[in-house]
Amino acid sequence: MKKLLYIAPHLSTGGLPQYLTKKIELLRDVFEIYVIEWSNHTGGVLVVQRDKITSMVDSDKFFTLEENKMELINIIDRISPDIIHLEEIPEYFMDFDVAKQIYKKDRNYVIVETSHDSSYDATQKKFFPDKFMFVSNWQINLFEPISDIPKVLVEYPIEYKQRPDREWALRDLGLDPTKKHVLHVGLFTPRKNQAEFFEYARSMPEYVFHSVGNQAGNFAYYWEPLMINKPKNVIWHGERKDVDRFYQAMDLFLFTSRGTDNDKETMPLVIREAISWNLPILIYNLNVYLNYFDKFDNVNYLDFTDFNKNCEIIKNTLECLKAAIDAKKTTYIKIVVSSKTELRSFKELLAQIFKIISKENISGFIIQPTTSLSEPTLEQLLVFYDNVYPYYEEVRVVPQLHKIISAP
């Protein structure tokens, strides 16, 4: 097998090590994989992704550099890799003299760079790989000035999963299923904007707000004041290896990240994870997303300037069916189904819906099959139809016509 060497600035937390983990999972049967960690600043706590990577890579093929960074060149010489893949552009983390050695003109390996940053000025680039990989189209646009090097978009896969029974999932976490629960996942930093998440919690004491993510020491100036004044209805869970349990149990994923001038968002994996668990999602439609999330029916947008309006959006998302019925609004119900939708969960959802309403309360019930992504078969749609019919005889199956005709 050919030898593939990954060089990462760190393996502590965030999207970078998670992307690397997925790449190793997909490629370890195709390549002989080596990993070099430029710096280990996990501090013994930010270890979830690092532990996954070290479990997949042989111990004699995993290296952590100490103070002498030129040791990297010696390791490369010993390994003699066919491909060197930098999991960030070298200008961000690598000593100039080390990068100069790696990018020498007479090298006998291919260099690939993945960028995880959304604000780099490509005109300042000093070292040039054989190929770029990017995690968003925004980044590809940033690197347009470098026109002679191939650029590839590598999207982290969305793997749709079936959520368990809500009450069971909440009790499994020791949480009260009679309450509504709101989730935020991310490292405590100004970019992830937990400050605003806390303010929404303060304004809506009837809900329980959950924050999952580590509090790194270099951002203590940000999170320490927040934790001192944390609202009583906010629970901080720290870094978790079982974050999927939270996606399974929550009623809403509220991601308040706006990025900052010096630390823009890229393509947050936590949004993709929430999509995969089919959670209702509220986010800011940042420029760097380029409207990417428009195509997902469970993603909606917050208002950039109106806090009170956003409070109403959050409440409506959590209580929309009951609120619509109580206000005597004309109400339709739509359930989007895919080939991976389990009949058991579909039946449980129907039971929950018709605990809140009767058939006289609604004006229509629609089953909508996904288009392109995990489309259900006709047989599956008919089974779903047959399960709704006893509750509501006028049930209809309506395809996603906007996607079929490629309308935005």
Q: Give the C-alpha separation, 89 to 8, whole Å.
A: 10
Residues 278 and 208 in one domain: yes
pLDDT at 406 over 80: no
pLDDT at 210 over 90: yes
pLDDT at 45 over 60: no
Q: Which of 85, 118, 153 is the last residue of a domain?
A: 153
Give 364 or 218, the one with higher predicted confidence: 364
Residues 186 and 220 in one domain: yes
What amino acid is encoded at 293 in this protein? F
Residues 181 and 311 in one domain: yes
| Residue 176 lies inside a defined structural domain of this protein | yes
| Residue 312 lies inside a defined structural domain of this protein | yes
| Over residues 247-272, mean pLDDT | 91
| Over residues 298-320, mean pLDDT | 91
So what's the pLDDT on residue 73? 96
Specify the number of domains making up the chain: 3
pTM reported for the whole predicted model: 0.81
So what's the pLDDT on residue 160? 87
Residue 333 burial by Cβ neighbours in a 10 Å radius (0-12, 13-18, 19+) = buried
132: domain CATH number? 3.40.50.2000
Lookup: tokens for 151 = 């650029």
So what's the pLDDT on residue 215? 81
| Residue 110 lies inside a defined structural domain of this protein | yes
Residues 238 and 149 in one domain: no
How big is the chain by its Cα radius of gyration, in Å? 24
- Percent of the chain past pLDDT 70, that is, above it, reads 97
Mind giving me the DSSP string for 340-364?
Answer: T--HHHHHHHHHHHHHH--GGG-SE
Q: Give the C-alpha separation, 184 to 190, whole Å.
A: 14
Query: What residues contact 224, with CB distance under 8 A and at least 6 apart?
Result: none
Least confident residue range of 102-111, 122-131, 185-194, 370-379: 370-379
So what's the pLDDT on residue 41? 66
Give the domain extent around 204: 166-320
Lookup: tokens for 179 = 């309450």
Residues 210 and 137 in one domain: no
So what's the pLDDT on residue 44? 54
Q: Which of 297, 320, 343 is the last residue of a domain?
A: 320
Residues 13 and 111 in one domain: yes
Q: Do the Cβ atoms of 301 and 330 come closer than 8 Å?
A: no
Residues 334 and 315 in one domain: no
So what's the pLDDT on residue 119? 85
pLDDT at 408 over 70: no
Q: Give the C-alpha separation, 54 to 37, whole Å.
A: 11
| Over residues 20-32, mean pLDDT | 95
Residues 105 and 31 in one domain: yes
Residues 184 and 250 in one domain: yes
Query: What pLDDT, in 10s, does the model give residues 113-167?
Result: 999 888 889 999 999 999 999 999 999 999 999 999 999 999 898 988 888 888 8
Query: What pLDDT, in 10s, does the model give residues 347-383?
Result: 888 988 888 888 999 999 999 998 777 789 999 999 9
Give 44 or 254, the one with higher predicted confidence: 254
So what's the pLDDT on residue 317? 86
Return the number of other C-beta atoms located less than 10 Å from residue 72's C-beta: 21
So what's the pLDDT on residue 403? 65
Residues 177 and 223 in one domain: yes
